[in-house]
Each structure stands twice: as C-alpha cells, then as structure tokens.
C-alpha cells in the first residue's frame, strides 16, 4: 500500500509538465507532418501515439528530476512569492564535501534492502529510464545498443548534475540504475521487435 501511495505522489509531480508537453506536441504536429511530407514520408498512427507517449513521459521525468523536491505545488508557490527555492552558496559548498562518498559505486545500492523506501527508490530509478531506452530503440531511425547506452548514461549524468545545484540527492548509483533501466528498455524493444516485427516496423516513418 505504501508503494502505491509513493507512486501516486510521484505521478502527481509529473502531471503538470506532462500536460504541457501534450499541448506542445499537439501544436507542433502540423509542422512535423509538413516536414515529413517534404521528404515523402508519412508517420503512421502507431508511431504518432508512441511519439506522444514518449514526449509526455520525458516531460514528466523532467518534472520529477529537474525541479527541487516537492516543487509541485509547494515549491512553485514559494517561488511565486519570491522566496528562494534553490540552495544558497554555503549549502552548495557543504554539499561538495559529500561528493566523495556519493561517488562510490554501489554504496546506496547495497542499502536498498534496508527498508521498503530504499528498495522503492532503487526499482524506481531503473523503471523511470526503461522508456528512455525503449524510445531510443523504437523511435530513432538508426538505433543501436551504443545509442541506448548513450541516452541512458548521458541523460542520467545530466539529471544528476542539475540535481546537485537544486538541492536534490546526487549519487553515482542513480546513474548506474538509470543506465541499467535504459538498457533494459532497449532489450525489451529488441525482444518485442523479434516477436512482433510488424509492430516494430509501424514505429518508423513510411
């Protein structure tokens, strides 16, 4: 029951940016269609649905990882009142002293069996990047293991860097778990493409 509650809380934090992304996607669709038409291509409905899902999820992931903790709605309200939402320079200096410990691989992963919350975070860090690897494989015209690895590793490193400056937790284990999730998503796409090749082909412009 706790896991469901935590999951719903995270989904609630994702919703504002997801809604905005859906609106941007809808407004940009005519432009994308004209661009494809100039190249003699048509994006099938299956691909359009997958693009929408990926775009919306990526925006939700950004809301979850690139904003201060509990930014929606508490931090947003504070920012609108002119209150500081980001850590001061002194706090950033203190956080620098924690980095050597946070850059030790598998330190936090070994603690994951200590409580349901740490286990939830471990599995969540994997699951949230599965769509990144799946999308990299299914939606890029030329996909590969290396590109999925780059998407997961690069995206996670960018997130962890931003989180350091907004007062969020920064840890090498998050990068490891996120990258593993992206590779799992890539592997899942490859498996489905082998089992259902027609479905996989429908994700590409024709």
pLDDT, tens only, 188-206: 988 988 898 877 777 765 5
Residue with tokens 């479905």: 199
Structural tokens at position 113: 């069996």
Q: What is the pTM of this model?
A: 0.87
In the DSSP assignment, the letter for residue 112 is G
Return the number of other C-beta atoms located less than 10 Å from residue 127's C-beta.
Answer: 15
The tens digit of pLDDT for each residue in 137-170 reads 877 766 778 888 999 999 999 999 999 988 888 8
Rounded CA separation 56/118 (Å): 27
């Amino acid at each position: 029951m706790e896991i469901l509650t935590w999951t719903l809380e995270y989904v609630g934090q994702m919703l504002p940016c997801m809604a905005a992304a859906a609106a941007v996607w809808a407004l940009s669709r005519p432009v994308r269609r004209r661009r494809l038409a100039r190249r003699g291509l048509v994006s099938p409905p299956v691909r359009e649905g997958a693009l929408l899902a990926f775009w919306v999820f990526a925006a939700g992931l950004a809301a979850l990882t690139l904003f201060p903790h509990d930014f929606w709605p508490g931090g947003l309200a504070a920012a609108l009142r002119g209150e500081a939402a980001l850590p001061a320079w002194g706090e950033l200096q203190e956080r620098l002293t924690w980095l050597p410990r946070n850059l030790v691989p598998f330190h936090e992963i070994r603690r994951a069996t200590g409580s349901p919350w740490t286990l939830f975070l471990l599995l969540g860090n994997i699951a949230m990047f599965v769509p990144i690897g799946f999308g990299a494989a299914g939606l890029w015209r030329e996909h590969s293991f290396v590109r999925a690895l780059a998407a997961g590793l690069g995206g996670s490193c960018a997130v962890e860097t931003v989180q350091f400056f907004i007062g969020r937790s920064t840890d090498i284990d998050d990068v490891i778990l996120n990258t593993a999730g992206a590779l799992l998503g890539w592997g899942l796409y490859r498996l489905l493409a082998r089992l259902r090749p027609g479905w996989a082909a429908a994700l590409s412009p024709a």
